[in-house]
Amino acid sequence: MRVAFAGTAPLAADVLERFAESQPIAYLLTRPDAPRGRGRASGPPPAKEAAERLGIAVHQPERPTLPEPVDRVVVCAYGLYIPPRLLAQSLWVNVHPSLLPRWRGAAPVERAILAGDAETGVTIHRTVEELDAGPIAAQDAFAVGELDAGGVYERSAELAARQLASVLDDPVFTPQSEDGATYAEKITPDDRRLDLADPLDAWRRVRALSPHIGAWTTMHGRRVTVWRARLEDGAFVPEIVQPEGRKQMSYDEYLRGAR
């Protein structure tokens, strides 16, 4: 069985590296290199970096295409629309980090934490034209607890690699219900702003946007990104912060400088 992988984001890179331990990957489809970081210099997607470390061939078309026939294509955080003509050429299966049909869409991990969901998980489903609506081959849950998004993504990658190894050879699909379907909209600038008058929401927001995006507020007249925080007797307590234009530091360090 020949398997290709289509992915771009850090989650895709993590799943690719883990899955490649048990399954040879014919090639990676990923998005073209794009500006990254403050300097906006062109850089490779995380999945491309992972594939190159593994010696996997990389293809970066502007629009998805299959350069060689394969039996399966695993899709994970790819970010490009896959047209029906391609879906008809191979069996495409998608790795989605939520318990579908809850949180279809772009930011399922962040939205689950923001909503205070007690559990989340990973769903392996057939890729269809409708967003994250295909029949399900595997679905497993785990507790969110106090994990931040980084922790949820890591656990999701571990689980996804095991699921793929188990079902990809001969998947059995069950239709996905429309009952309880919700949509995880992209994170916007407004989503990043902390409301310190709502400690529970602020704590969830920090966790949902760490360590990859960051939530911010104003402290002592200065914009500060909060990367880690805790709830203590119902109060929001920052732990790791980053004043604008500075490096990350403990909250106590920041307070000493502010004084």
Low-confidence ranges of the chain (pLDDT < 50): none
CATH (domain of 251): 3.10.25.10
Cβ neighbours, 10 Å, residue 220 = 11
State pLDDT tens for residues 89-129.
999 999 999 999 999 999 999 999 999 999 999 999 999 99
- Looking at the fold, whether 139 and 172 belong to one and the same domain comes out as yes
Q: Which two tokens stand for residue 105?
A: 């869409």
pLDDT of residue 38: 66
- CA separation (Å) from 230 to 59, 64, 206, 213, 215? 43, 42, 9, 18, 14
Q: Which two tokens stand for residue 74?
A: 């695993």
β-strands 34-36, 41-43 pairing: antiparallel
- Looking at the fold, whether 204 and 147 belong to one and the same domain comes out as no
- Looking at the fold, whether 165 and 220 belong to one and the same domain comes out as no
pLDDT of residue 259: 62
- Looking at the fold, whether 22 and 150 belong to one and the same domain comes out as yes
The helix/strand/coil state of 143 is strand
- Looking at the fold, whether 226 and 208 belong to one and the same domain comes out as yes
Give how many domains the chain has, as a whole number: 2
Q: Report the alpha-carbon distance of residue 188 to residue 180 in Å, rounded.
A: 24
CB within 8 Å of 247: residues ≥ 6 apart = none
End residue of a domain, out of 156, 184, 212: 184
- Looking at the fold, whether 60 and 95 belong to one and the same domain comes out as yes
pLDDT of residue 39: 65
- Looking at the fold, whether 25 and 110 belong to one and the same domain comes out as yes
- Looking at the fold, whether 170 and 197 belong to one and the same domain comes out as no
Domain of 135? 3-184
The torsion defined by the Cα of 153, 9, 3 and 69, in degrees rounded to 10, comes to: 160
pTM (two decimals): 0.95
Q: Report the alpha-carbon distance of residue 66 to residue 184 in Å, rounded.
A: 29
DSSP 36: E
β-strands 222-232, 34-36 pairing: unpaired
Q: Which two tokens stand for residue 12?
A: 């895709």
pLDDT of residue 257: 80
- Looking at the fold, whether 113 and 55 belong to one and the same domain comes out as yes
End residue of a domain, out of 153, 184, 215: 184
pLDDT of residue 36: 73
pLDDT of residue 34: 87
- Looking at the fold, whether 175 and 54 belong to one and the same domain comes out as yes
CATH (domain of 155): 3.40.50.170
- Looking at the fold, whether 156 and 199 belong to one and the same domain comes out as no
- Looking at the fold, whether 221 and 174 belong to one and the same domain comes out as no
